[in-house]
Structure 1
Amino acid sequence: MKEAAPLWLATPSRFAGLSLRGARIGVALLALLLLATLLALASPGAPPINHDPANRGEDQVDVVRYETIVQGVRGGGGYYPVTAQALRAGDDAMQPFLTFRLPTLAVVQAALPPAATMLLLYALVAGVMFAWYRQVRSAFATPAPVWVAMALLAGGLIAFVKADLACFHEIWAGLLIALSLAVRREGKWIEAAAIGLIAMLIRETAALYVVIMAVFAFAEGHRKEAIGWATTLGVLAVVLALHAHAVSLVVRETDPALAGWPGPLGFGFFITTMQLWTVLTLAPLWFAAPVIGLALFGWAAWKSALALRALAVFSGYAALLALFGRADTFYWGLMIAPTLLIGLAFAPDGVRDLIARAQDPRRKITVTRVVR
């Protein structure tokens, strides 16, 4: 069967050349994915937020805690004693050492005026948008879908421009992951790896992104790049060792430890976090869930090395949330929220090609004999 001309994409989608059998398997997997997203309807969501300013301390406990820590460091306190005091005041877990965030973000924000912090955040958002514009403009044949993709990117960034979330570590780490992914090109990876290192030094869970990038570099035979990504992981390991030692100096044996793992919350929990942190929070979950599934499918449809990396990153964090997330760790979704919805712009070509290739090319001809 001859490949059909692309609808939006500049080149045929990844599914345009599938065999009949492969396309039918693809249709079945897409249907299964869309059905799986509806598991979100039975999944525990994030803690309820009533948006009453009087209850901000209850609605945004973590944010208020981080703001308190920044204020304490700005007032001359040491990061670790200030953090220990804030955690004890909230009767929060202080063991293991990872319950203490790395000091990077708090120390930088304490050294800057609040207005400068916001300018830095908005500059980072603008940098993410520009970097992704440069990536997607060549993916489409006409300007219209490029602007659709940029609008979808904006829809994934709505939580990242909120001033009251600027102390949230995942806000910065998620933006840095999005920027790192966009600036990486074959033969040009140093900037991407450096940005990935900064993301890890703000939030160590960004290490999952770096591991995925290192694996891709190794699999593609880019030895120097793989070593570069692995080196940043080595730097993180040293920093975490120093961090663990510093935490041990302020934690007491009587301080509470993190509650045990409650068990996997499943794929539906990942879907609910993606709805919460994107513009889809304005839509009912029964509608938003399959839309998120289509976004994932769209990334699979775009035939590019960047799309494969992005899809692997989304899948990695989806697995992290599904297997190890807790109801109060919904903010992990911020690590991939900025760019997920862009996949919807690639989905029309993917759906059309998958369905077209799944149809039997043999035409059934019925001969009717008319007797006069």
Structure 2
Amino acid sequence: MSFEFPERPLALAPRWLALLLLAFFAAACAWNALSLGIRDTAHLADIETRQDRGERVDMDLYRQVHSAVAHGEGYYAAATQGNRDFDFPTKPFVTVRTPILAWGASFWGDFGWRVVAALLWGANAFVWFIALAGKASRGERDAAGTFSLLFGAAAFIPEVAFSHELQAGLLISLALALSATRWWISGLVAALLGIAVRELAAPFMLAWFTLACMTGRRREALATLVALGVVGLGLWLHAEGVAGARSPGDSASPGWLGMLGPSLPLYGIHATSLLQMLPNWFAGPLGVLPMLGWLALGGRTGTLASLWFGGFMFGVAVFARQENFYWMGLFVPAYGVGLAFVPRALLDLFRVLSSRAAPAPTP
């Protein structure tokens, strides 16, 4: 038994739901415009507190690890020692990054990762234009490619060579686009690479598997199930590598239950995109509206995007601490593509509200 998700689901919404969605997103846009400043103040205070404790920034740690691996040192020895040098925990194993960026840099250097990011930036825009054929108008496809380029501009910052989240985000975004085409196997490979770079992206594969099962796509369901097995094996190997290099005196993470609410993931979207260059009154709504756009697209692609973005934002709102805002780099650049469908969303919702109930039949 399979289920097909409807295209343009907002056009099928009852009037009460259409009104509720408009009110909710209008309030969320205004609230985010105000909360960005509050969250930025909290971010600056967090940086000051960490500097007072003598802590250094994460990117310096990754530079040190890349250099050590490039000079022949084993990754896990270099990474765990780097965490000790920076007074970072090594417990649990997820506090130590996977070795993919460091191993890659030992072959083609940090500049090579900047080239990879630039290529993925261009590939995302191109594939989104192709993937939306038959699902969106030409104007929406053009807008999708444009917003992909704009929201993915972080691919050109020098630190992208050391940012596991941005590199993984570019790969996961490409996987999301490819999953809507006949090249979905390539999307599966891109997703696996993205998760290998940053294991925090694993829920994307779980969302894909869930939708494949619900829609009766047996080949996709089997392929994604195998991919989830590969992810599990990779995480086990990573855990073993960290455990083998850990020292008895290593510190442990204080845990993740920040309970900071939706302001943190929305701030992370703001801080990892060009939105940070805009005034808050303008950037606030632009950080919220892509979610409305993805809901309006519907179908398998819109549903997968909504499940991935909405689910991950919920997880960050509950578990992340203030300094974890950069996790939202995993959304770059696909989240912003949702802005292309906001006019569709508003049109469908206002049509629902303006429609009148059909008259009762005459006896």
Check whether TM > 0.5. Answer: yes
- The equivalent residue for 1:267 is 262
1:141 aligns to 2:137 (yes or no): yes
Contact 2:114 2:155 in 1 (8 A): no
Match of 2:215 among 220, 230, 238: 220
Alignment of 1:335-346 (within 5 A): 335-346=330-341
Residues 112 and 339 of structure 1, relative CA distance in 2, 3 Å threshold: same
- The equivalent residue for 1:368 is none
- The equivalent residue for 2:328 is 333
| Secondary structure of the corresponding residue to residue 66 of structure 1 | helix
Structure 1: stretches of 5+ with no match in the other structure: 1-10, 50-54, 363-372
- The equivalent residue for 1:130 is 126
Give how far 1:177 is off: 0.4
Match of 1:99 among 95, 101, 125: 95
Residues 284 and 59 of structure 1, relative CA distance in 2, 3 Å threshold: farther
For residues 99 and 300 of structure 1, the distance between their equivalents in structure 2, rounded to whole angstroms, comes to: 34
- The equivalent residue for 1:113 is 109
Which of the two has higher C-alpha Rg? 1
Deviates more, 1:195-204 or 1:298-307: 298-307
Residues 262 and 210 of structure 1, relative CA distance in 2, 3 Å threshold: closer
For residues 82 and 342 of structure 1, the distance between their equivalents in structure 2, rounded to whole angstroms, comes to: 38
Q: How many residues align?
A: 345
In percent, how many aligned pairs have the same letter? 28
- The equivalent residue for 1:3 is none
Give how far 1:262 is off: 4.6
For residues 174 and 127 of structure 2, the distance between their equivalents in structure 1, rounded to whole angstroms, comes to: 7
Contact 1:275 1:285 in 2 (8 A): no
Alignment of 1:1-372 (within 5 A): 13-34=8-29, 37=32, 40-41=35-36, 44-45=39-40, 47-48=43-44, 61-136=57-132, 138-143=134-139, 145-185=140-180, 188-359=183-354, 361=356
Structure 2: stretches of 5+ with no match in the other structure: 1-5, 46-50, 358-363
For residues 262 and 106 of structure 1, the distance between their equivalents in structure 2, rounded to whole angstroms, comes to: 29
For residues 227 and 137 of structure 1, the distance between their equivalents in structure 2, rounded to whole angstroms, comes to: 26
Residues 95 and 136 of structure 1, relative CA distance in 2, 3 Å threshold: same
One-letter amino acid of the counterpart of residue 59, structure 2: V
TM-score, with structure 1 as normaliser: 0.84
Deviates more, 1:291-300 or 1:68-77: 291-300
Give how far 1:303 is off: 3.5
Deviations 1:20-69 (A, max 9, x none): 344334334434544554573475347439xxxxx9xx998111211111
TM-score, with structure 2 as normaliser: 0.86
For residues 242 and 30 of structure 1, the distance between their equivalents in structure 2, rounded to whole angstroms, comes to: 43
Contact 2:294 2:338 in 1 (8 A): yes
Give how far 1:225 is off: 1.2
Q: CA RMSD in A?
A: 2.7
- The equivalent residue for 1:369 is none
One-letter amino acid of the counterpart of residue 119, structure 1: V
Contact 1:27 1:358 in 2 (8 A): no
Deviations 1:84-139 (A, max 9, x none): 22111111111111111111221111111344333222222221121112124544
For residues 89 and 22 of structure 1, the distance between their equivalents in structure 2, rounded to whole angstroms, comes to: 54
Deviates more, 1:326-335 or 1:253-262: 253-262
For residues 76 and 12 of structure 1, the distance between their equivalents in structure 2, rounded to whole angstroms, comes to: 53
| Secondary structure of the corresponding residue to residue 252 of structure 2 | coil
| Secondary structure of the corresponding residue to residue 361 of structure 1 | coil
Contact 2:8 2:299 in 1 (8 A): no
| Secondary structure of the corresponding residue to residue 166 of structure 1 | helix
One-letter amino acid of the counterpart of residue 112, structure 2: A
Contact 2:172 2:191 in 1 (8 A): yes
